[in-house]
Structure 1
Amino acid sequence: MPSIWTKFRIAVNPIARRFNQYTAYTIRDPERIGAIQEDVPGTREYLRACGYEPQFLSAAKKHPQTGQPHDLSYRRVPDSHPPGTGDKLIAEHFRPQECQFHVHAFHVADQMQLFSHYEARPDLLSPEVDISRLRTHYRPEYGQEYIRGISDLEI
């Protein structure tokens, strides 16, 4: 079940859009990395065991087919850029510690569908203050600074 925080971000999104901002959007199918036969608590434990942590500094995501809000939003900061990013702007402009794997999980038809992308971190102060990283996070160039469907999870 989506958290109150997720429901709030979806509710205020129409207001944010009036100011050319956003707090929620529908995730795209190319971010789908698979499904696992788990419930929300089991998926939470799986993600934590893989080194992921809750990511509260994110827009709420809606499922591409059902429109339902995500049940979980987790991220992991890597030690190195993943394969396939070496020729991308994200690897050129940011160190791995300035990036994140960002996973969204949706409980659909007795399974958890997982979606993932690789992007610049939105953290204001960590690993250090970097306004260009924040600007990139919120207005990325897709395929270069926001890479859909990339994950380090084994699904």
Structure 2
Amino acid sequence: MADRLSSVLPYTAYAVDEAEYLGSYDADADATAEMLRDQGYHYQLFAAEKRRGEDGPTDEGSYARIPEEHPEAATGTALAETTPRECQYHVHLFERVDPDTQRVVTDLYGHYEIHPYPHTPTWDLTRPWPRHYRPTWDTPDNPRDEWTYLRGVRDPRLDRVLNY
């Protein structure tokens, strides 16, 4: 599927690194997905494939939640100038075996960003483009007031359920 979209989207896959690590959940990816749904997340059918590191495993699913308010980390960024309904917490699941306990756990990586869908009720198809697909990353090379992609920003709803 990603190959079919590569001619119309600027990317269909990319690597996530430790800057996006949110924590781990003591369950397999299916149970983690259920926990996320209980927290108000939905499955992101059209998300780019994420790989942990350049050569690591591919994510076991992509989930998002549109917030009621921006996280504190968005203060002073370009995201703060949008309504929270235009943004999302975006989470990617990576299942692994914990070497200490030999139990399956799921690592969650994620970010806070403009969501890719037109903001309802206007369905303005130009709104998410290009800010979602060509974000300004939260790196020292970019001015903070231009950032539209905040790595590792954890949704407060996940604070009480993740290990970190």
TM-score scaled by length of structure 1: 0.83
Residue among 108, 121, 131 paired with 2:115 = 121
Residue among 136, 144, 152 paired with 1:141 = 136
Residue among 96, 100, 125 paired with 1:108 = 96
Q: Root-mean-square deviation (CA), in Å?
A: 2.1
1:57-72 aligned at under 5 Å gives the runs 57-64=46-53, 67-72=56-61
**Is 1:55 aligned with 2:48?**
no
Q: Secondary structure in 2 aligned to 1:105?
A: strand
Q: CA deviation at 1:83?
A: 1.2
Gaps of 5+ in 2: 98-103, 139-146
Gaps of 5+ in 1: 1-7
Count of aligned positions: 143
Matched letter for residue 28 of structure 2: D
Q: CA deviation at 1:69?
A: 1.2
Deviations 1:85-127 (A, max 9, x none): 12111111x1100000000001112210100100001013635
TM-score scaled by length of structure 2: 0.79
Q: CA deviation at 1:36?
A: 1.3
Matched letter for residue 38 of structure 1: A
Mark the structure with the bigger radius of gyration: 2
Structure number having the greater helix percentage: 1
